[in-house]
Amino acid sequence: MYIKDLDPTYGWEDCPESIRKKVENILIFFQQSLKNNLIGFYLHGSLTMNCFTIINSDIDFLAVVKQKLTTPQKKTIIDYLLGIDNGEAVAPPEMSIVTQNSLKNLAYPPPFELHYSSDWQDRYRSGKVDWAEQRYDADLVMHYLAISKRGICFYGKPIKEIFPEIPREMCIASIINDLNWMSERSEPLRISYIVLNPCRALAFLNEGIFLSKKEGGEWALSHLPPEFSKLINGALIDYQTGTTIYPPEAYSLKIFMNFTKKEIERLSK
């Protein structure tokens, strides 16, 4: 094992008070801005799976609403999120807002009302957004699964009442879409994303378990060929420290990606 002296990881129960306060303030804002239209507010991701790191994790949440949002509502929410995601490296928000009807009538890729992540900052700040355009996001399938399996309801209706059973074929389509996105992306991604996401996808397809990135890497160390151990350990270190101690050679990373893609395709049949 190469993993030593890593930064601590947290779950919701033991995370720093500053993180708890940030989540609570976001919820208060959503309650005040959406009022009776807000059906539920759900936390998912690393903070609910005990692998949140101060240096490298987002605050992932999803809100469910009764009615579609108006353009002024969308702008108000984005302005708020831009205000709390002001260039600091600590716990930026990543969220989607979806309607209850879209969950009752699940389709692939799922539609959403509004999405925010740090990748969208420049787009929102530039004003180059069509607020009326109906958008879709294949990643939402796995977010719904994450909430169903390991999410936390912070407000509103219980998870089991809102989130449907996710068909395996939709999960597979979402996983393959993410792999294709990684391979087609022109800008470099962190090794923790490139390596650990395929690892947890393989764990899901092999055993039906939903794991965090960290857990996916740990699973892969005992289930994938030993030749990938150094690469996976490097990804785990990057995940928990934000530092790539073992920069992968392009060739070895390509071999890993080809292997995981073929395995995912095999398990998808």
Task: Record the tokens describing residue 226, joined without a space.
Answer: 């030993």
50 and 118 share a domain? yes
Residues 154 and 23 in one domain: yes
pLDDT digits (tens, 9 = 90+) for 46-99: 999 999 988 889 999 999 999 999 999 999 999 999 999 876 667 899 999 999
Q: Cα(first)–Cα(last) distance of the chain, in Å?
A: 34
Domain limit, last residue, from 127, 149, 166:
166
Query: Is the domain of 25 the same as that of 131?
Result: yes
Q: What is the pLDDT of residues 231-265, one digit of tens each?
A: 999 999 888 887 766 667 777 888 999 999 999 99
Do 245 and 213 belong together in one domain? yes
Q: Could you list the residue range(s) of the whole structural domain that residue 94 is in?
A: 1-166
Question: Contact 7/241 with Cβ under 8 angstroms?
Answer: yes
- Say whether both 221 and 264 belong to one domain: yes
Question: pTM of this prediction?
Answer: 0.93
Q: If residue 152 lies in a helix (H) or strand (E), which one and from where to where?
A: strand 152-156
Q: How far is CA 223 from the centre of its chain?
A: 23
Q: Are residues 60 and 14 in the same domain?
A: yes
- Are 134 and 4 found together in one domain? yes
Give 70-103 as a 3 state SS string: CHHHHHHHHHHHHHHCCCCCCCCEEEEEEEHHHH
For residues 181 and 155, membership in a common domain is answered with no
Q: Do 132 and 264 sit in the same domain of this protein?
A: no
Residue 206 and residue 119 share a domain: no
- With a CB cutoff of 8 Å and minimum separation 6, the contacts of 106 are 164, 166, 167, 170
Closest-CA residue to 61 (of 87, 109, 90, 24) = 24
